[in-house]
Amino acid sequence: MRIVREQGLEAKIADVVEATIEDAGYRLVRVRISGLNGMTLQIMAERSDGTMTVEDCEKVSRAISPVLDAVDPLDREYHLEVSSPGIDRPLVRKSDFETWAGYLMKLETSRLVGDRKRFRGKIVEVSETAIRVERDQPAYGEPSALEVPFDAIGDARLVLTDELVEASLKADKAARKRRGEPEEPGEDETEGSGPGGLPGGVH
Q: What is the DSSP string of 70-117?
A: HH--SSS--EEEEE---SS-B--BHHHHHHTTTSEEEEEEEEEETTEE
Q: What is the pTM of this model?
A: 0.84
Q: How far is CA 111 from CA 114, 138, 148, in A?
A: 10, 19, 10
- β-pairing, 145-149 vs 40-46, is unpaired
Contact 147, 131 (CB under 8 A): yes
Contact 64, 78 (CB under 8 A): no
User: What is the Cα–Cα distance from 132 to 124, expressed in whole angstroms?
Assistant: 6
Per the DSSP assignment, residues forming a β-bridge with 141 are none
Query: Is 201 buried (19+), middle (13-18) or exposed (0-12) by CB count in 10 A?
Result: middle
What residues in the chain have per-residue pLDDT under 50?
186-203
Whole-number pLDDT of residue 6: 95
Which CATH superfamily includes the segment(s) 8-87+185-202? RimP-like superfamily, N-terminal (3.30.300.70)
Whole-number pLDDT of residue 18: 97
Whole-number pLDDT of residue 194: 35
Options 2.60.40.1180, 2.30.30.100, 3.30.420.270, 3.30.56.10; CATH for 94-158 is 2.30.30.100
**DSSP type of residue 2:** B
Residue ranges of the domains in the chain? 8-87+185-202, 94-158
Asked if domains 8-87+185-202 and 94-158 share a fold, the reply is no
